[in-house]
Amino acid sequence: MSLAAFIMNNSMKEFVTNLRYKIEIKINSLESTENDSLIRINQIINCLVDSLKQLKIFIVNYEFKNQEEEILFFKELKPQIYSLLLFYVRLYKIEEKRPASNKVSEDIYISHEIKQLDKTFTNSLDFYNYYRTGDSSSDYKYFVRKNYDRSLDKDPLSFEKDYMFSTSYDYEVANIIANDLLKAYLISELNIVSNAACNNLISLIANKQMKWTDSKVSLVEFVYGLHSCGSINHGNVELKDLIMCFETLFNIELGDFYRAFLEIRERKKSRTQYIERMRDALITRMDDFDK
């Protein structure tokens, strides 16, 4: 069957539906058979590029029945597929740089990526709000090809676009959907990593049975020192929360830590006995290495 005959015998919506079904089958197959995440993501990207090429050939040769059908395609149908490509391209970059050293590093990395996503739409906030609220008053301007305005197009590759397959904002809709998918993925991964990090800590405490074997006052002095230096979260942490962390880690109850601090403050000879003892022990250790 010729391309022209195929297009005549298939509605636009039917073609897109069948194409999306084939994409889902391929992605599910790769998800279940390819264990290497980067290889799998790259294969999915290639599949989506091929699918978009097929979609482009169909649309360039297809005559929309009316403006409403054209808006439907560029506002809903094309972005559903294009968003998958954007999602997997961004996912590849994230997974490529994802630290594998430990769960804490992964937690920090994924949390940072989520924060970056939240800053994405500051340059196109008006359209973002337009789309999120379900407004359609300007659809004729945003999603009809004859009204394409290069100055409105945020796609980095807009200079290469075929204007028979593009409108001013179909990329931006795909961009919003892709970032929603990416944020959901990252939040899911963050929960997995955070739970693993928590379990590792619990296991460490339970198996190693780490206990503070110096005096309670010494630990209070140490924690107050950390808090005073702003060494944890750049100082953005409550002292009581820091105390609780060390109590949990070292299986100890410090009780009224503020009273212990007052005792430290009232010392006659040296207020920082433990910190000075720790400093001297560390210097001795380094001197021993030099011998």
Question: pLDDT value at position 203?
Answer: 67
Per-residue pLDDT, 229: 92
- What is residue 207's predicted lDDT score, i.e. its pLDDT? 65
**pTM of the complete model beyond 0.85:** no
pLDDT at residue number 216: 92
Helix (H), strand (E), coil (C) string for the chain: CCHHHHHHCCCHHHHHHHHHHHHHHHHHHHHHHCCCHHHHHHHHHHHHHHHHHHHHHHHHCCCCCCHHHHHHHHHHHHHHHHHHHHHHHHHHHHHHHCCCCCHHHHHHHHHHHHHHHHCHHHHHHHHHHHHHCCCCCCHHHHCCHHHCCHHHCCCCCHHHCCCCCCCCCHHHHHHHHHHHHHHHHHHHHHHHHHHHHHHHHHHHHHHHCCCCCCCHHHHHHHHHHHHHHCCCHHHCCCHHHHHHHHHHHCCCCCCCHHHHHHHHHCCCCCCCHHHHHHHHHHHHHHHHHHC
Residue ranges per structural domain of the chain: 3-205, 210-290
Quote the pLDDT of residue 2.
45
pLDDT tens column, 89-141: 999 999 999 987 777 788 888 888 998 888 776 667 889 999 999 999 999 99
What pLDDT does residue 1 have?
46
Under-50 pLDDT residues of the chain: 1-5, 8
